[in-house]
């Protein structure tokens, strides 16, 4: 039995570091090349598990070596991957990631098997879902599967945490039934249809988004922290300044940390603060799942405001 079910993407990330991102048509030298398990769904599942939640993942990988490595890695992190389907027609998802000296990334995803995650996959996980408390999703699988899952969650009494990344416009009513929406600035802009550049504009967008259905809207603001709007009010949560190595999966770690914190029965404001600590620490290491901090590292920042990465 799992408290959290993640319905989402699993990728293998091919990561190269370089001083500066190339412009179109330009070739630049890279430094390190690493292969790191990634995918927004898998990252969020791994983060929630590392931070103490019991987690299962539902999705697809290819019938290839990368697919096996992705599943093995999730299992090694304590994530129940028994509902991950091996797709015989499509390759495993991969992401080409380039990280510059400032820790900024560009990511190109070839979805592969993630693009075939279907309502049938969801139905086959009904038993798992009926025992869970939270369903966590992103936008790296087909939108109609996500929408059907929101309906199933309502039927089974689960809370949905939706991280609509990468963002695109959704039909009216799509977010009805979502408990918490977690968006970064660009995702908030896309879904709210207005610019988000600072705390005030994040607050304005959050009010627009809350009217679209979610009870809670969290706008993550990168190094500036996060803003949230809930049923009982709104608040800005600052982030601790750190030496950024790579921002990849910081948002995913935030989402995983948020759900783990809710399962620890932290009130909403503290859950957002805990998630902010987790996301901040994830920027200090290279890669997606390689950057997710341990529970003791997050707890030290959350309780004492101290960075103690080991
Ligand atoms: O959010 C980061 C993730 O986006 C990467 O791990 C990559 O696989 C893409 O899904």
| Residue of 252, 255, 279 best suited for mutating to test ligand 1, as the one with most atoms within 8 Å of CB | 252
Distance CA 40, CA 165 (A): 8
Is the predicted pLDDT of residue 309 greater than 90, yes or no? no
Q: Whose CA is nearest to atom 1 of ligand 1?
A: 249
Q: Whose CA is nearest to atom 9 of ligand 1?
A: 39
Structural domains in the chain? 4-10+39-90+114-304 (3.40.1190.20)
Report CA(114)–ligand 1 centroid distance (Å). Answer: 12
Is pLDDT larger for residue 60 or for residue 304?
60
Q: What is the per-residue pLDDT across 1-35, written as a single tens digit (0 to 9) for each?
A: 999 999 999 999 999 999 999 999 999 999 989 99
Identify the residue whose C-alpha is closest to ligand 1 atom 7. 39
- Which atom of ligand 1 lies at the shortest distance from residue 42's CA? 6
Q: What is the pLDDT of residue 212?
A: 96
**70 C-alpha to ligand 1 centroid (Å):** 13
Atom of ligand 1 nearest to the CA of 289: 6
Q: What angle do CA 157, 159, 163 make, to 5 degrees?
A: 145
- What pTM was estimated for this model as a whole? 0.97
State the catalytic residues. Answer: 252
**How high is the pLDDT of residue 310?**
81
Output the pLDDT for position 81: 98
Contacts with 214 (C-beta within 8 Å, 6 or more apart), sequence order: 162, 175, 178, 179, 180, 181
The atom number, within ligand 1, closest to the CA of 140 reads 10
Sort strands 93-99 and 80-87 into parallel, antiparallel or unpaired. unpaired
Closest by CA to 52, choosing from 301, 306, 292, 225, is: 292
Of 199, 201, 149, 194, the C-alpha closest to 175 is: 149
Nearest alpha carbon, ligand 1 atom 6? 38
pLDDT of residue 308: 85
Ligand 1 atom nearest to 13, measured from its CA:
8
- The Cβ-side half-sphere exposure at 273, using a 13 Å CA radius, reads 14
Please state the atom number of ligand 1 nearest to the C-alpha of residue 248: 2
Average pLDDT, integer, range 177-195: 97
> How close is the Cα of 243 to the center of ligand 1, in Å?
21
Nearest CA to ligand 1 atom 8: 39
What pLDDT, in 10s, does the model give residues 228-287?
A: 999 999 999 999 999 999 999 999 999 999 999 999 999 999 999 999 999 999 999 999
Which of 14, 59, 107, 167 most suits a substitution to test ligand 1, by most atoms within 8 Å of the C-beta? 107
Predicted confidence (pLDDT) per residue in 78-103, tens digit: 999 999 999 999 999 999 999 999 99
User: What is the tens place of the pLDDT at every residue in 33-49?
Assistant: 999 999 999 999 999 99
Q: How far is the centre of ligand 1, averaged over its atoms, from the C-alpha of 158 (Å)? A: 25
* Residues paired with residue 80 on neighbouring β-strands, in sequence order: 56
Q: How far is the CA of 231 from the centre of ligand 1 (A)?
A: 30
Chain-centre distance of CA 163, in angstroms? 6
How far, in Å, from the CA of 13 to the mean position of ligand 1? 7
pLDDT in tens, 110-169: 999 999 999 999 999 999 999 999 999 999 999 999 999 999 999 999 999 999 999 989
């Amino acid at each position: 039995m799992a408290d959290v079910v993640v319905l989402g993407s699993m990728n293998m990330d091919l990561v190269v570091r370089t001083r500066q991102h190339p412009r179109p048509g330009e070739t630049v030298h890279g430094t390190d090349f690493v292969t790191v398990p990634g995918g927004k769904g898998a990252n969020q599942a791994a983060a929630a598990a590392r931070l103490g939640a019991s987690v299962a993942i539902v999705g697809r990988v290819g019938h290839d070596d990368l697919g096996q490595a992705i599943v093995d890695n999730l299992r090694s992190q304590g994530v129940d991957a028994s509902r991950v389907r091996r797709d015989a027609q499509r390759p495993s998802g991969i992401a080409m990631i380039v990280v510059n000296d400032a820790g900024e990334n560009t990511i190109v995803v070839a979805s592969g098997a993630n693009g075939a995650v279907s309502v049938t996959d969801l139905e086959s996980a009904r038993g798992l879902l009926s025992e869970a408390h939270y369903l966590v999703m992103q936008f790296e699988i087909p939108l109609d599967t996500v929408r059907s899952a929101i309906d199933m969650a309502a039927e089974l009494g689960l809370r949905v945490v939706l991280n609509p990344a990468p963002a695109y416009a959704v039909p009216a009513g799509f977010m009805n039934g979502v408990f918490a929406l977690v968006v970064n600035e660009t995702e908030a802009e896309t879904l709210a249809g207005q610019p988000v550049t600072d705390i005030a504009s994040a607050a304005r967008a959050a009010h627009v988004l809350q009217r679209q259905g979610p009870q809670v809207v969290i706008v993550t603001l990168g190094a500036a922290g996060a803003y949230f709007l809930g049923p009982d009010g709104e608040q800005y949560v600052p982030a601790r300044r750190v030496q950024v190595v790579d921002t990849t999966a910081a948002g995913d770690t935030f989402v995983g940390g948020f759900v783990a914190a809710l399962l620890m029965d932290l009130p909403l404001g503290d859950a957002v603060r805990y998630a902010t600590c987790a996301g901040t620490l994830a920027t200090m290491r290279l890669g997606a799942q390689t950057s997710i901090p341990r529970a003791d590292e997050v707890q030290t920042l959350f309780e004492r405001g101290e960075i103690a990465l080991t």
